Amino acid sequence: MKHTISRLANCRAIHILVLLTALLSTAIIPALAQSQNLPDIGGNGGLLSDQLENEIGQQVMSSIRRSTRTIQDPLVYDYLGNITYRLVPSAPLENRDLQLVIIDNSAINAFAVPGGIVGVNGGLFLNAATEQQFASVLAHELAHLSQHHFARRMEQQETTTPLTVAGMIAGIILSAVTQSDIGLAAIAGTQAMTMQNMLAYSRAHEKEADRVGMEILASAGLDPRGMPEMFEIMMRRNRLQGNRLPEYLSTHPLTQSRVADTWNRASQYSGQRVADSQEYHLMRHRLQVHYAKSPELAIRTFESELEKDDPDHLEALRYGLAVAYQENREYDRAEQVLRELLDGNPGRITFQVTLAEVLIDHENYDSARELLKQALARNPENYPISYTLAMAELGDGNGATAADLLEELARQHPEQELLWLKLAEAEGMARNIVGVHRARAEYYLLMGDLTSAQRQLRQAQDILPASSTERQVISERLGEISERMQARNR
């Protein structure tokens, strides 16, 4: 199913723009007022301090969570984390603690903003035919972060007012959050330069990100040729869409000369073609089912591909068919295909987790539990396995067991709001009211709703005896929230 930004979301986006402008103006104006000349970019003494970058990053993530549908499928999210952190050691990043987000939109898009936020659309999986092409977009975004392009873009505005700079930041962030042109319009309306100069400056940054991104790919053992190949896909999409510029190209200008330049650069890297991991194509087909107009159409598409004489990625296509069967509630057929795949790949986590999901959907909790516990014994702390086991326990009414699993997952992945929601549900099933309030508080904090988080923790605090250790922990958390609220109101 395809998701687009509705009129309501656009109204909400405008509201977020106002809030972001006010917030970032408050944070930036005092810093800029200390000196008429902006400092050089680089390190802790740069235009954007580490603290300010982190604040921007937190605000971006809160805005995304509030205004945009995201994909939190543990298998897809885990794959994105694995491929990103394959690239990270080769990227010249000062801060390697990244937050990843997958926007539930079938268009090609990706972005990176200060605070280590890297996002992709689900549509990037659909349009990147190979893992090398997909990784090239991630490498490009990591290059933007490593080269401080966000801050350097601000530096060019040193003759403008601080409010203009704040408005530009809000606009850039908003276009990443909403995947619409509202943010870009805000940038155009607040800059003291022509759009032509703006694009020329952006192209210079794009060229630098291309160069650094290819170096990251080569160093990580991936194929730099994936970048010009992906650019050609984008150019074809651009021609097909006519006057409607693809989302990615609205923020990442692309010309034929730039494509040619990246081909020339890629040819300078020696080496054989790099084979894709099977996991990429499993995730790609999983998302093809997600974005299909109907499960029946997805089934027909995969069956048609499998009927070809020599289809590529045979197992991945069969996996896609199984996921389509699952989505169409043909659980017996999905289970049969997945068990056949597991016979040939006994330890593949994706097949195990997906089979367990089918068993859970079919309310066969005992079989799902047994399968997942065996898988977890071989892969301790694995995110998709642990999460799916928690869902099996939750479905079977074992709230306390599910809560134990989800609490550990939330500790490991505190930025995943879905975990806190599920933890609150599990704690409620286990009749742990304090646990419900604490989990809801963490969810509200991720959403940027400090008042609701504070209220939840106070309700939990009221239940506990004064001498309780847990009450002390909650009091400390309340103190942290109060400090954040005071900082926001300065």
What are the residue ranges spanned by the domains of the chain? 7-267, 292-346, 432-490
**Among 75, 62, 44, 109, residue whose Cα is nearest residue 248:** 109
**pLDDT(82) > 50:** yes
Is 206 one of the annotated binding-site residues? yes
Cα 361 to Cα 166: distance, rounded to the nearest angstrom: 48
Question: Per-residue pLDDT tens for 331-350?
Answer: 999 999 999 999 999 999 99
Q: Which residue has better confidence, 34 or 286?
A: 286
d(CA 394, CA 371): 16
Average pLDDT over every residue of 447-470: 95
The pLDDT of residue 212 is 93
24 or 369: which leads in pLDDT? 369
141 is catalytic: yes
pLDDT at residue 205, rounded to an integer: 79
The amino acid occupying position 4 is T
pLDDT digits (tens, 9 = 90+) for 111-163: 888 788 899 999 999 999 999 999 999 999 999 888 776 666 665 555 444 33
- Catalytic: which of 73, 78, 104, 210? 210
Q: Which two tokens stand for residue 139?
A: 């490498």
Residue 183 is predicted with a pLDDT of 44
Assign 220 to helix, strand or coil: coil
pLDDT of residue 234: 87
Q: Name the pTM for this structure.
A: 0.83
Confidence of residue 481 (pLDDT cuts 50, 70, 90): very high
Residues comprising the chain, all counted:
490
Please give the backbone phi and psi of residue 329, each rounded to the nearest 5 degrees, phi first.
Answer: 65, 25
Give me the mean pLDDT over the 400-427 stretch. 97
DSSP H helical ranges for 292-382: 295-306, 314-327, 331-344, 349-361, 365-378
Nearest to 168 by CA among 207, 142, 202, 139: 202
Q: Which residues of 219-237 are buried (b: 16+ CB within 10 A; e: fewer)?
A: ebebbbbbbbbbbbebbeb
Q: What pLDDT sits at residue 60?
A: 77
**Closest listed residue to residue 76, CA positions, set 357, 302, 332:** 357
Is 144 marked as binding a ligand?
A: yes
Which DSSP state fits 254?
-
Please report, for the chain, how many H helices and E strands are present, in that order. 24, 3
Instruction: Give yes or no for residue 397 having a pLDDT over 60.
Output: yes
**Sheet with strand 99-103: strands edge to edge:** 99-103, 117-121, 110-113
Select which of 73, 141, 305, 393 is catalytic: 141
